[in-house]
Amino acid sequence: MKSFQGSTVVKLDTSGRLKLPPDVVTDFKSVDPTGKVFLKYMPERMVCIRPANKAPSEPPSDSAEKDYDDDAETRIRLRQISLLSNYDTISPQGRVTLPQSLLELIDVKAGQNVVLVGFGHGYEIWKPETLAEEMRKELEQRHRKYEQTRDKVTE
């Protein structure tokens, strides 16, 4: 399977479309030649974008016929799929439209820069400031863990 790597800054156009760099388009189409992508909001306050054929499995096709009144777990999952995700197809110009609802969740407006970060199965779309804060926290945590390990070894 393709491993998506690297990072780049990309500017959203005034319609909230993301012009993917040519190498990113190539990455996606090498995994899903249709160019269809799956966009999903993640709790880190970013949106992941992956080839649609690598998207998490959808509910069973008979789900519309079932009564989920007593199945809270399935209702939550279906709600998340409906409200926190979307499908799109990479345009011939290499663009993907980010729905306004997802842009609002990551606090990004049309015309602003975002950072694309490869993560193995696709890319993450981050507001630059949010990514910087997340990386700062991760590096602090790694440093603390290193210090704890070092202190154990040197005792």
**Residue in the structure block whose two tokens are 């096709």:** 61
What CATH number has the domain bearing residue 42? 3.40.1550.20
Segment 110-123, tens digit of pLDDT? 999 999 999 888 99
Residue 12 lies in a domain: yes
Tell me how many domains the chain contains.
1
Alpha-carbon gap, residue 17 to 114, rounded angstroms: 11
In a domain, 149, yes or no: no
Q: Does residue 117 form part of some domain?
A: yes
Q: How confident is the model at residue 1 (pLDDT cuts 50, 70, 90)?
A: very low
Question: What average pLDDT does the segment 121-138 reach?
Answer: 95
Domain region containing 17? 7-127
Question: Mean pLDDT score of the chain, rounded to an integer?
Answer: 88
- Answer whether residue 80 is part of any domain: yes
DSSP string, 52-105: GGGSPPPPPGGGGGS--TT-HHHHHHHHHHHHHEEEEE--TTSEEEPPHHHHHH
Residue 1 inside a domain? The answer is no
The angle formed by the CA atoms of residues 93, 13 and 105, to the nearest 5 degrees, is 115
pLDDT at 11: 93
32: in domain: yes
What are the pLDDT digits (tens) for 47-104? 999 999 988 765 555 555 566 777 888 888 777 777 788 999 999 999 999 999 999 9
